[in-house]
Amino acid sequence: MEKQTFHIPKISCGHCVMAIKNELSEMTGVQSVEGTPADKTVVVSWEAPASEKAIRDTLQEINYPAD
């Protein structure tokens, strides 16, 4: 399993984190999504077939691009 912290500048509140969590949790292979609005970060744990690229692509699609 892989785990990575993504910095997402557009996070401003808990609602943003929930929107991201809901979208990423639907991806096959994503095990967990935890976010911290104050830090503007989301920690994602995943295994194949999910990938860092697929997660970044999904974040871009939902208008929360990661740095």
9-33 pLDDT per residue, tens: 999 999 999 999 999 999 999 999 9
Nearest to 27 by CA among 63, 62, 9, 66: 62
Task: Evaluate if pTM is beyond 0.75.
Answer: yes
- Which domains occur in the chain, in start order? 2-61 (3.30.70.100)
pLDDT of 19: 97
Q: For residues 60 and 20, give the distance between their C-alpha atoms in angstroms, rounded to a whole number.
A: 11
pLDDT of 49: 97
pLDDT of 24: 98
Which element (helix H / strand E) includes 24?
helix 14-25
Contact 42, 35 (CB under 8 A): yes
